Chain A
Amino acid sequence: MNDSGLAAVPGAADHFVSTAPFDPTSAARLTPEQERFYLASQWMLMWWKFKRHRVAVVSAIILLFMYASTLVTEVLVPYNLHTRHTDFIYAPPQSVHWIHEGRLTGPFVYELKKSLNMETLRRDYTEDTTKPYPVRFFCNGDPYQFWGMIDMSLHVTCPEEGATLFLLGTDRLGRDVLSRIFYGARISLTIGLLGIAVSFALGLVIGGIAGYFGGWADLLIQRVIEVIRSFPELPLWMALSAVLPVTWSPILIYFGITGILAMLEWTGLARAVRSKLLALREEDYCTAARLMGARPKRIIGRHLLPGFMSHLIASATLSIPGMILGETALSFLGIGLRPPITSWGVLLNEAQNINVVALYPWLMLPVVPVIVVILAFNFFGDGLRDAADPYR
């Protein structure tokens, strides 16, 4: 080395040498925002992207409120689920007034006067406008057991003594439709969540087996899915729920129906899991893990699942509406949930024929929350799906 022709030149060099201390990251220096972006976790990125989807955020908030309301239903509504008002059968929605005889008196209702129309044999209700009955807030009304434990009678609103407060009318037993819609939310909303939880687990396990192991397991599972899919959903649901034993208690029926809904919904999720696994297991990082001796359980759970969990959650969200609609349809047909369990479908069961549409249209109102929830879940799921791929 030292005997080579070239002599080492101490000190000065021919070319320019910067005297600044060496900084290896100088080329890749990031602005604070970029740094925040690149260092953020996957879920953080999803959250940022989701926030930009305004409709989805609004939908999420609506759903949150609806689910929260099921926790305190008893307090929110003016009447109990089964309170009957035999004097007010098929009463139309009452309107809340503000001005009585030219003076602002705050929210109040008039008393309902019933008369039997002898020609049509219908009950006609008219407002008796002589005396205003103010609507009370945070007052004592129908007694109930809060969460089945604490005896309470507090309601957010209730009618004045001697008056009624049927904001959405009453049904054939004189029960307040508004209160029943709120109570119905408990069943209708939870059946979707419970059902998706079951089918999510099924889809994950079965799809995971099919996708990771492939071979004959995959073939068999694919065939099974194909067979289940070639049934029309609703008739099969109908058949299965019709054979639930009559002797079962309503709560057992509730779980039975949830199970039936979940039994047929997992196929879509299983397919998604399978196709994702098939694609991802060929990736280099998966091969690396396998070469290092990781077991299938660890590879699936640790390396593959996190890669598409977000997609799965999004598509699971998108299949909740189908379940809610399915339960509603079954109960509407009278082979789903049975009273006294009250869901929106059970409520709509009252509105089965054209007479109701013509005479008591307010009995169809439980369809409004159904539509709102389905729309909200669809928009929410769409937002999630877009956000699920934050790198795009």
Chain B
Amino acid sequence: MMLRYVVNRLLLMIPTMIAISIIVFVIIQLPPGNYLESYIAELQAQGESVDPQKIAFLREYYGLDKPLLQQYLHWVGGMLRGDFGYSFEFNLPVTKVIGDRMLLTIIVSGVTILFTWAVAFPIGIYSATHLYSWGDYGLSLLGFLGIAIPNFMLALVMMYLANVYFGTSIGGLMGPEFIGKPWSWAKTQSVLEHAWIPVIVIGTHSTAGMIRRLRANLLDELQKQYVVTARAKGLSPRKVLFKYPLRMALNFFISEIGSILPHIISGTEITAVVLSLPTAGPMLLNALKSQDMYLAGSFLMFLALMIVVGVLVSDLALVALDPRIRLQGGVAR
């Protein structure tokens, strides 16, 4: 049963990924003319000579002379083999350019999710159990502020404060001495030291939404009859809360990954631009600005893949954790 669900779910991912790749490919093709032409024109305008061999190589590489469908198949086929295309700007294969950045994007997003949980969980429970108290109102207002403040502004201010009060070298995700070095324990430590600003900045937005939804969910749960029964039988309020409603809330945390992950990744991108983190954000922006579309397309593809996999993991974890889903046999739609 479980195995069938997993297989089903994996198979379902394939059409989704194909659709995503088509959209990304369309975006790559959207700018008028192709990058190669404008690249040549730019080089010629600067008076640099154009190496005809290189042009021929690139034309060959992307099959720019072939019809669109073939170009697309060529591109997708390359990705399946781990070949994400060629960045015109950096003169390097895209995989070389983005490898480390993707890893850091995953790390920052992951830590942010943990942060969101750690903050939202106690606050959500407090708000739900102390309904309409001053604490509830105050925390709700704080949550609303978290939603309303654009996170790039928060990032700027935090960066300034961190610099003034803590003397953390601003920007970046690790000490300058670790850049370009292989991973080591010291480097990991340095990353963690620098990661707290982006994590807090990105986390505020998703935390606020999470608290509100957790509060609403827990409130619904607390009004159910089994809670009333438990209370009527004289269970202590603490036990009533912890025994069942909280478990429900835990499931909710996992099912929420799907809805907060896109927000967290969006937040990571823009925050990274402001804080100039070595994650995907700044490079994506640059690639878009200089219309280095294959690089930008790879980033988009990767971020979308991250979300799809994240949702998949959360779905699977939910099935493993929540017996009701299995009992209903809600396997495939």
Do B31 and A243 have beta carbons less than 8 Å apart? yes
Provided the pairs A235-B303, A335-B288 are in contact, do residues A230 and B308 lie with their beta carbons within 8 angstroms? yes
Q: Which residues of chain B come closer than 8 Å to A232, judged between CB atoms?
A: 262-263, 265-266, 269, 303-304, 307
Selected from B148, B265, B289, B291, the residue in CB contact (under 8 A) with A378 is: B148
Residue in B closest to A334 when the chains form the complex, CB atoms:
B289
Do B288 and A354 have beta carbons less than 8 Å apart? no
Q: Which residues of chain A come closer than 8 Å to B145, judged between CB atoms?
A: 371, 375
Do A223 and B19 have beta carbons less than 8 Å apart? yes
Which residues between 158 and 189 of chain A lie within 8 Å of chain B, taking CB atoms? none
Q: Which residues of chain A come closer than 8 Å to B311, judged between CB atoms?
A: 230
A232, A239, A325 — which one has the most chain B CB atoms within 10 A of its CB? Answer: A232
Do A332 and B150 have beta carbons less than 8 Å apart? yes
Q: How far is the CB of B159 from chain A (nearest CB, A)?
A: 6
**A16→B61 CA distance, assembly (Å):** 103
Q: How far is the CB of B15 from chain A (nearest CB, A)?
A: 7
Scan B142-170; emit 1 where CB is below 8 A from any A CB, else 0.
Answer: 00110111101100110110010000001
Do B285 and A238 have beta carbons less than 8 Å apart? yes
Do A231 and B307 have beta carbons less than 8 Å apart? yes
Residue B199 at the chain A interface, CB threshold 8 Å: no
Q: How far is the CB of B140 from chain A (nearest CB, A)?
A: 10
Q: Which residues of chain A come closer than 8 Å to B153, judged between CB atoms?
A: 348, 351, 364, 367
Selected from A226, A229, A234, A354, the residue in CB contact (under 8 A) with B160 is: A354
**A283→B221 CA distance, assembly (Å):** 27
Provided the pairs A226-B16, A233-B263 are in contact, do residues A370 and B160 lie with their beta carbons within 8 angstroms? no
**A91→B237 CA distance, assembly (Å):** 59
Q: Count A interface residues, CB 8 Å.
A: 42
Do A239 and B27 have beta carbons less than 8 Å apart? yes
B15, B30, B284, B288 — which one has the most chain A CB atoms within 10 A of its CB? Answer: B288
Selected from A223, A243, A353, A371, the residue in CB contact (under 8 A) with B148 is: A371
Scan B276-320; emit 1 where CB is below 8 A from any A CB, else 0.
Answer: 000000001100110100001001100110011001000000000
Selected from B20, B150, B170, B269, the residue in CB contact (under 8 A) with A227 is: B20
Which residues between 4 and 42 of chain B lie within 8 Å of chain A, taking CB atoms? 15-16, 19-20, 23, 27, 30-32
Q: Which residues of chain B come closer than 8 Å to A371, judged between CB atoms?
A: 145, 148-149
Q: Which residues of chain B come closer than 8 Å to A354, judged between CB atoms?
A: 156, 159-160, 163, 170
Selected from B156, B262, B288, B304, the residue in CB contact (under 8 A) with A351 is: B156
Do B266 and A233 have beta carbons less than 8 Å apart? yes
**A242→B28 CA distance, assembly (Å):** 11
Do A243 and B150 have beta carbons less than 8 Å apart? no
Residue A357 at the chain B interface, CB threshold 8 Å: yes
Residue in A closest to B307 when the chains form the complex, CB atoms:
A230
Do A227 and B23 have beta carbons less than 8 Å apart? yes
Provided the pairs A230-B16, A231-B303 are in contact, do residues A367 and B288 lie with their beta carbons within 8 angstroms? no
Which residues between 166 and 211 of chain B lie within 8 Å of chain A, taking CB atoms? 170
**A137→B290 CA distance, assembly (Å):** 49
Q: How far is the CB of A331 from chain B (nearest CB, A)?
A: 11
Do B300 and A239 have beta carbons less than 8 Å apart? yes
Do A234 and B150 have beta carbons less than 8 Å apart? no
| B interface residues (Cβ-Cβ under 8 A, vs A) | 15-16, 19-20, 23, 27, 30-32, 144-145, 147-150, 152-153, 156-157, 159-160, 163, 170, 262-263, 265-267, 269-270, 273-274, 284-285, 288-289, 291, 296, 299-300, 303-304, 307-308, 311
Give 11 pairs: A residue, B residue, CB < 8 Å, sorted on A.
A229-B262, A231-B262, A231-B300, A231-B304, A321-B148, A333-B270, A333-B285, A354-B160, A357-B160, A364-B153, A379-B144
